[in-house]
Amino acid sequence: MKSMWKLNKYARFVQSDVSAMVTKEEKAEWEYFDNTPFPLELTLADRGHLLVSHGSTIMESYNLTMSQKYLRGQSKGDSMIIFYHMQDVSHRFRIKFAASELKTSHEVCRECAEKMAKYFPVKAIVTTEAVNLENPSDKTTLRGEVTLSDLANIR
């Protein structure tokens, strides 16, 4: 079964000139795309294929067979970065997830990371914001709320 997630942003790390590739100097920059005028989507196909598309343009495409040898991921909050390295070729890209009707963007990112982790290592970095969203403090009392201790004191 194929899984698909909407993205707010996508960025890829690109070499700024050919001489940087020859001299091995790190002269590169991030190239950014957002979900306008075309939608950004990440698709994980049933047969193990990862695809990032911007409308009808394919931005990234990876066969996930044996991908634990050449792909690594790291997720934090509502974003993920994926590293590709094979022999002398390296590439990386970042994605920021959009919220769905039923899930926050953090939950969408976590769901995607869990599915990708079946194919290659994905390290999740837990942020305090994510913890606060998942476990709101039970100690908060709303105005006009009656607690059990209030009920116990009623005679």
Q: What is the pLDDT along the chain (155 residues), one digit of tens a residue?
A: 799 999 999 999 997 655 555 555 667 899 999 999 999 999 999 889 999 999 999 999 999 999 999 999 999 999 999 999 998 889 999 999 999 999 999 999 999 999 999 999 999 998 765 555 555 554 444 455 655 665 556 55
pLDDT at 126: 82
Q: How many folded domains does the chain comprise? A: 1
Instruction: Write down the pLDDT at residue 146.
Output: 59
Task: Give dist(CA 49, CA 132) in Å, integer.
Answer: 34
Q: Tell me the CATH number at 119.
A: 2.30.29
Q: Which domain holds residue 133?
A: 3-152
- Residue whose C-alpha is closest to residue 52's, from 16, 27, 24, 80: 80
| pTM of the predicted protein model | 0.76
